[in-house]
Amino acid sequence: MTAYSSTRPPHKDVALTSLSASELAHRIAEGRISSQEVIEAHIRRIEAVNPHLNAVVVSLFEQARAEARQADSLLTQGASVGPLHGVPITLKEQFMVSGTATTVGIHHQQSRLMEYDGPLVKRLRKAGAIPLGKTNVSQLLMYHESDNPVYGRTNNPWNLDRTPGGSSGGEAAIIAAGGSPLGLGGDFGGSIRVPAHFSGLYSLLPTARRLTHHDTAPHAYVGGQEGIIAQPAPIARSVEDLRLAMSVLAAPGLNEIDPLVPPVLWPDPAAVSLSGLRIGMYTDNGVFSVAPAVRRAVEEAAQALRARGAIVESWNPPNVAEAVRLYVGLVGADGFATYKRNLAGDPRDRRISFNMRVSSLPGIVRGPLVGLLKQSGQAHMASSLQSIRGALSVDQYWQLVQERNQYRERFLAALTASQFDALLCPPHALPALTHGSSGTLNPTNAGSYAILYNLLGLPAGVAPITRVHPGEESERNVGKDSVERVARTVEMGSAGLPVGVQVVARPWREDIVLALMAALEEHTGPCLPVSGDALLS
């Protein structure tokens, strides 16, 4: 296993870059440390690890230094300050930050600089946060790795031969390595939860429409696509930091900026009692089997929650294969015409090119090809191909949306029938993928544990629980299926990698998600940055 190495930083830097955003804010406000020394420590950390990780792709160091001086001056003057005053953060490259490009991996967007901050970035700045830079993504935010033709590939600090996930993988990598305590990513198909799982972090996908997506540059998403609602989402090394970030991001008044955001008050996780809370648990969604360590993580989390008074029972989600079909159909309903237009002749990532080619196959070809794949033992590839329908007519799209609505009703009805307040399940079938394997292990198979909750629009968080133990990497019988073979390759050699669990609740009940994650955090202990000098085993 290859971990990054770096020159040993000063002891004080290690202490500062190991602290949570909440603790940094507390110490800065009390005058125990200055924002300037905090910012400098994190800049030095980024400069030490980023050559190995390629996580921060747009640096804002000089601007951050100036803002830190101003933050310290305000405190000296006794001014009233925000809850993140003087605290460094990082932002996913998809977000609009004044004076920076938002390329999402598209070459011709490199020269187009944003003229203003997005509304969520403004909220973070108003709360006192100081952006250190923007972090790497997958091209067009489309796959569970973070590499693209503009910025290249981001590596996982736990193992440089593996990806930190995507599309918010740059955020995950730099936070896991101690270069930033808190970041803002996004989630359209597991894009914040998968990186948190791969990188040993905490993350939260809010309820659909909880937050505005006006921070995302127009060319970075399909504007008229409302079958799946993307959400900005925080990622950090502590649950308290997620709560703090969401108290800023989801504060009242967001609906005045974006009328599509309902004026639903942000709930207080502290008011949630775990005693008697009913939780449904599953470790297999019927689409793709999980690695042994992933299954063990869910079982360990269930035991920890039972010890806190929660009632955890086994449960099977309704027909996840149907949910995958609906998700893929909705995402590709335009036949990827918008993505083709946004790329405008630029180099395309091979995974995007493959999806575009497959979506353009006529039904008369796709049907027999699916049959051939099934006959040759390629069940997962056949299922993926069957889900991609290509461009839909208006009538077909409306029918698909109605099917999504009906599936969501059945899913919530099943939760009600079992009287469950929340769910506990895997965030992904595998630990961190080897570079390049996301083209085979995609959201329709190994990633299906995450995309289900994008389809449903439910709040979902990820909490790190354990690491893969030596000797438990794989028990997969691959047969002829090439997808299963790649999965086994990923599992082998995964000892030492972090493994998380996913916590899901009903709409607008992020408080339950965060309360359960906080209980799991108490069980596992603090989440510290990956050491730059350690070879993990």
CB-based contacts of 383, cutoff 8 Å, min separation 6: 321, 324, 444, 445
Average pLDDT for residues 68-94, to the nearest whole number?
A: 98
Of 20, 191, 289, 387, the catalytic one is: 191
Rounded CA-CA distance 6/21 in Å is: 23
- Digit-coded pLDDT (tens) for 178-190: 999 999 999 999 9
Q: Does the pLDDT value for residue 414 go beyond 70?
A: yes
> Helix/strand/coil (H, E, C) string of 117-166?
CCHHHHHHHHCCCEEEEEECCCHHHCCCCCEECCCEECCECCECCECCCC
Q: What is the pLDDT of residue 3?
A: 55
pLDDT band at 225 (very low <50, low <70, confident <90, very high): confident
Q: What is the pLDDT of residue 7?
A: 45
For the chain, what is the mean pLDDT?
Answer: 94
Whether 340 is a known active-site residue: answer no
Q: Does the pLDDT value for residue 442 go beyond 90?
A: yes
Q: Which helix (H) or strand (E) holds 372?
A: helix 363-375
Q: Quick one: residue 496, left, alpha or beta (phi over 0 = left, psi -120 to 50 = alpha)?
A: left
What type of residue sits at position 275?
S
Cis ω for the linkage preceding 359 (within 30 of 0) = no
140 burial type by CB count under 10 A (0-12 exposed, 13-18 middle, 19+ buried): buried
Instruction: Please give the distance of CA 67 from its chain centroid, rounded to a whole number.
Output: 28
Q: Nearest CA to 439 among 163, 198, 199, 197? A: 163
Whether 92 is a known active-site residue: answer yes
- Digit-coded pLDDT (tens) for 238-275: 999 999 999 999 999 999 999 999 999 999 999 999 99
Which residue bears the tokens 């709360």?
127
Strand partners, 386: none
The fraction of the chain above a pLDDT of 70, given in percent, is: 97
pLDDT band at 221 (very low <50, low <70, confident <90, very high): confident
Rounded CA-CA distance 237/20 in Å is: 7
Q: What is the pLDDT of residue 176?
A: 98
Q: Does the pLDDT value for residue 537 go beyond 60?
A: no
Of 18, 20, 22, 92, the catalytic one is: 92
Q: Does the pLDDT value for residue 336 go beyond 70?
A: yes
Q: What is the pLDDT of residue 344?
A: 86
Q: What is the pLDDT of residue 384?
A: 87
Average pLDDT for residues 210-233, to the nearest whole number?
A: 91
Please work out, in degrees rounded to the nearest 5, the angle formed at the alpha carbon of residue 145 by the alpha carbons of 246 and 494. 100
Q: Nearest CA to 179 among 231, 244, 134, 233? A: 134
Q: Does the pLDDT value for residue 170 go beyond 70?
A: yes
Whether 167 is a known active-site residue: answer yes
pLDDT band at 534 (very low <50, low <70, confident <90, very high): very low
- Digit-coded pLDDT (tens) for 36-76: 999 999 999 999 999 999 999 999 999 999 999 999 999 99
Q: What is the pLDDT of residue 110?
A: 97
Q: What is the pLDDT of residue 536?
A: 33
Rounded CA-CA distance 508/267 in Å is: 8
Give the class (CATH, top level) of 11-321+405-524: alpha beta
pLDDT band at 11 (very low <50, low <70, confident <90, very high): low
> Helix/strand/coil (H, E, C) string of 467-528?
ECCCCCCCCCCCCCCHHHHHHHHHHCCCCCCEEEEEEEECCCCHHHHHHHHHHHHHHHCCCC
Of 167, 180, 289, 531, the catalytic one is: 167
- Digit-coded pLDDT (tens) for 456-508: 999 999 999 999 999 999 999 989 999 999 999 999 999 999 999 999 999 99
- Digit-coded pLDDT (tens) for 142-160: 999 999 999 999 999 999 9
Rounded CA-CA distance 532/534 in Å is: 6
* Count of H-run helices and E-run strands, the chain: 19, 13
Q: Quick one: residue 331, left, alpha or beta (phi over 0 = left, psi -120 to 50 = alpha)?
A: alpha
Q: What is the pLDDT of residue 1?
A: 43
Q: Nearest CA to 521 among 505, 497, 496, 503? A: 503
Residue extents of the structural domains in the chain:
11-321+405-524, 322-393
Q: What is the pLDDT of residue 2?
A: 53
